């Protein structure tokens, strides 16, 4: 069974999918979940979202990973989905199954971006890896609503670190979204692009998956975010031909960066993309933090809207409240 998320007109739901099902059978499950008839579904997946036109008789096995998000839209009356289009014709596949997860990490405002979920050797050979030369440490940044941006700033090379600030990184995101309107649509951002741009420019707004996907492109580097609760690695920019990767760690509400200390005097913030032992070594930090329950379960934590005082439970209610009111200033209660 694979637990995936399906987002339809009425919101998002999680469904368990038996991988022996065909795509036609999956469409029937999606119909039950969203109310959109199977023959009128347009299913989008990946990031940026692309239409998935699998042969309806094709078995799902291998096409979905745990935590994948499928966005389902209703086709106009009289238009049916091309369910007989073969997989090879579409050129679109979802990431293969790999590390266990129960949910893909959303942007911290609740909007999803879809990185790939990392697959890596759980027992790689440390020989030749830069990771074997030192110790990985977490670089803690302030809890000031800009933790993602400050963590990204920490892992940039010296030249970029000298010219970028957290504020400028926000501006970079806004400009990128504005320049790529066909990719960053309302369906991707979860709200009107102009509203999202205004929102992300506010210093009280948290960043997340959408921002990391953009930074991977801007800085031509893979950003790998390790989720402490699920022990999942979300890889932004994987397969794009980048030579280097940077590491972040996420506890459910806060990002920090990870760097390698060598000899107490050298801080390594970027790592060769082909050095798989780096992921294995960095994961040990998350495993230890997970055992200590050093994370926040965003599905059940208690929040208070600092704008109006409304008490909320979990990320879902926070997103609904933000969407209906425009309030984005939340505090744990």
The residue ranges of every structural domain in the chain are 2-90, 116-291, 302-332
pLDDT, position 303: 77
Of the chain, the end-to-end C-alpha distance in Å amounts to 36
pLDDT, position 113: 46
- Indicate the pairing of strand 244-250 with strand 255-262: antiparallel
pLDDT, position 85: 34
Question: Which are the catalytic amino acids?
Answer: 144, 147, 254, 327
Would the CA dihedral through 150, 156, 158, 164 be positive or negative?
negative
pLDDT, position 88: 30
Closest by Cα among 171, 138, 91, 153 to 249: 138
Q: How many CA atoms lie within 13 A of 278 on its CB side?
A: 24
The kind and range of the H/E element at 238 are none
Q: What pTM did the predictor assign? A: 0.61
**Would the CATH topology of 2-90 be identical to that of 116-291?**
no
Closest by Cα among 37, 26, 25 to 77: 37
pLDDT, position 227: 92
Asked if CATH classification 3.10.20.90 holds for the domain at 2-90, the reply, yes or no, is: yes
Q: What is the pLDDT of residues 188-207, one digit of tens each?
A: 888 899 999 999 999 888 89
Query: CA angle 23-29-31, nearest 5°?
Result: 105
CATH of domain 116-291: 3.90.70.80
- CA dist 261 and 134 (Å) reads 5
Segments of the chain scoring below 50 in pLDDT: 83-114, 117-121
pLDDT, position 101: 29
Query: CA angle 93-174-330, nearest 5°?
Result: 90
Q: What is the pLDDT of residues 22-65, one digit of tens each?
A: 999 999 999 998 889 998 888 887 655 667 878 888 888 877 77
């Amino acid at each position: 069974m694979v637990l995936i998320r399906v987002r339809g007109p009425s919101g998002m739901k999680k469904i368990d999918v038996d991988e022996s099902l065909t795509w036609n059978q999956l469409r029937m499950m999606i119909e039950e979940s969203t109310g959109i008839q199977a023959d009128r579904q347009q299913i989008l997946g990946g990031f940026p979202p692309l239409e998935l036109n699998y042969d309806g008789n094709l078995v799902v096995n291998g096409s979905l990973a745990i935590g994948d998000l499928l966005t389902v839209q209703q086709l106009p009356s009289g238009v049916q989905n091309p369910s007989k289009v073969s997989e090879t014709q579409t050129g679109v596949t979802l990431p293969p199954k790999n590390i266990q997860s129960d949910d893909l990490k959303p942007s911290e405002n609740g909007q999803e971006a879809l990185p790939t979920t990392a697959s890596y050797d759980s027992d790689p050979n440390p020989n030749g890896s830069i990771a074997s030369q030192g110790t990985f440490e977490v670089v803690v940044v302030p809890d000031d609503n800009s933790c993602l941006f400050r963590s990204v700033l920490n892992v940039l090379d010296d030249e970029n670190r000298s010219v970028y600030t957290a504020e400028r990184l926000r501006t970079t995101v806004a400009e990128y979204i504005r320049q790529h309107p066909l990719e960053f649509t309302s369906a991707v951002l979860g709200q009107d692009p102009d509203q999202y741009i205004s929102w992300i420019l506010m210093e009280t707004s948290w960043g997340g998956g959408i921002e990391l996907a953009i930074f991977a492109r801007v800085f031509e580097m893979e950003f790998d975010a390790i989720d402490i609760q699920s022990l999942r690695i979300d890889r932004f920019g994987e397969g794009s031909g980048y030579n280097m990767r940077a590491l972040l760690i996420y506890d459910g509400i806060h990002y920090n960066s990870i760097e390698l200390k060598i000899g107490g005097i050298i801080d390594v913030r970027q790592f060769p993309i082909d050095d798989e032992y780096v992921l294995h070594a960095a994961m040990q930090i998350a495993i230890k933090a997970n055992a200590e329950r050093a994370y926040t379960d965003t599905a059940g934590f208690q929040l208070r809207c600092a704008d109006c005082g409304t008490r909320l439970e979990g990320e879902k209610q926070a997103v609904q409240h933000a969407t209906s009111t425009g309030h984005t200033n939340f505090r744990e209660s």
